[in-house]
């Protein structure tokens, strides 16, 4: 997708995804401006070191929080495209502080919709998570609410703004994710695993960026885009990363699932399959499913279909896991990712 001449805003832009997306847009396109909105001044300081002003004059970094409705109305003035990546996403913290997560993930989404609609932003695409499909934890439930808000926003009268959602699984190497967590545990000789049956979807940051840009280009408004990505068994991941280590089973924790789902069975009747992704269509009056099928050449999923990490046809090989691990180790060495010694991730959470 060409973003030449566009004024682009990335919420939560100092996170792993936001930094990779910013790099891609500034180096592969010619936008008029890229604005990174985040609430952490230290992360902005570190990001500005990676994107010095003299080399990236089109990058603007502003402090703000999606909870702050007035700030969003200021920042979105003149914006053409929004990529919404801001969220509170640590599952244990969400369980302990549910109202704080709701303020950011749900009310923040509502604020963003209002500001984007008021300023007639062209397109807004929001990042979701596999945890939002049949959620069992507060984080997943908050993102499901957020998804519903963005989908429904397309049906609000004469609004010029189109809203869509991208949903995918665990991002390889993102802060607090499983591969850095296992790498941090490896020197102890013991890796903690909550359940030996557990499976997860995995996607690289670059694939995530590619898919968001692809979805941004093709969106009509109201779709939930779901990429086809590989699954992995958590025990297999542990064995390849640290074959010398003992695997200690510590029991499934609150908010965890054995397997993750990205297209629930209840959504199968409105889901369209393409070669590389699925589209969950909105069940709203504004959506013409027949026209969408005719224009995009997809095929409807059977009614009992569901897309889960345990029924996936695409599984990572040992060689692919080794390659991903080496990539994460390289990014840790280069300072792209922290090597946390304390566990911040529910494995498989």
- What's the CA gap between 282 and 151, in Å, rounded? 7
Torsion of CA 84, 297, 161, 148, to 10 degrees: -60
As a residue count, the chain comes to 349
- What's the CA gap between 171 and 17, in Å, rounded? 9
- What's the CA gap between 59 and 23, in Å, rounded? 10
The residues that bridge with 307 in the sheet, in sequence order, are 263
Residues ≥6 apart with Cβ < 8 Å to 193: 234, 235, 238, 247, 248, 249, 250, 347
Distances (CA, A) of 319 to 49, 236, 316, 323: 34, 11, 8, 6
The residues that bridge with 279 in the sheet, in sequence order, are 225, 272
- What's the CA gap between 21 and 13, in Å, rounded? 8
Residue 161: what are its φ and ψ, rounded to 5°? -90, 135
Do the beta carbons of residue 110 and residue 69 sit within 8 Å?
no
- Known catalytic residue: 319? no
Q: Which of 19, 89, 131, 228 is catalytic?
A: 131
- Residues recognised as catalytic: 131
């Amino acid at each position: 997708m060409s973003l030449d001449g566009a004024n682009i805003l990335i919420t939560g832009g100092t996170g792993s995804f936001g930094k990779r997306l910013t790099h891609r847009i500034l180096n592969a396109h010619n936008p008029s401006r890229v604005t990174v909105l985040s609430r952490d001044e230290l992360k902005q300081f570190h990001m500005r070191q990676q994107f010095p002003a003299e080399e990236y004059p089109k990058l603007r970094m502003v402090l703000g929080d999606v909870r702050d409705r007035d700030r969003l109305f200021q920042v979105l003035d003149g914006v053409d495209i929004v990529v919404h990546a801001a969220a509170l996403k640590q599952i244990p913290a969400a369980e302990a502080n549910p109202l704080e997560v709701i303020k950011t993930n749900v009310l923040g989404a509502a604020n963003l919709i209002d500001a984007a609609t008021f300023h007639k932003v062209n397109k807004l695409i929001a990042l979701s998570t596999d945890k939002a499909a049949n959620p069992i934890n507060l984080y997943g439930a908050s993102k499901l609410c957020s998804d519903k808000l963005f989908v429904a926003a397309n049906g609000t009268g004469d609004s010029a703004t189109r809203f869509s959602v991208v949903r995918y699984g665990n991002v390889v190497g993102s802060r607090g994710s499983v591969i850095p967590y296992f790498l941090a545990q490896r020197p102890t000789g013991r890796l903690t695993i909550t359940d030996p049956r557990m499976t997860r979807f995995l996607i690289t940051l670059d694939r995530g960026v590619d898919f968001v840009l692809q979805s941004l280009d093709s969106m009509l408004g109201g779709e939930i885009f779901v990429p086809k990505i590989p699954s992995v068994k958590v025990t297999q991941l542990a064995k390849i990363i640290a074959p010398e280590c003992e695997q200690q089973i510590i029991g499934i924790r609150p908010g965890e699932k054995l397997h993750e789902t990205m297209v629930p069975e209840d959504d199968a009747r409105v889901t369209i399959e393409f070669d590389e992704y699925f589209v969950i269509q909105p069940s709203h009056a504004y959506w013409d499913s027949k026209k969408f099928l005719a224009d995009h050449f997809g095929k409807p999923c059977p009614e009992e279909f569901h897309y889960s990490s345990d029924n996936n046809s695409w599984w990572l090989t040992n060689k692919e896991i080794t390659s991903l691990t080496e990539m994460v180790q390289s990014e840790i060495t280069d300072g792209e990712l922290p090597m946390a010694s304390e566990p911040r991730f529910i494995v498989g959470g």
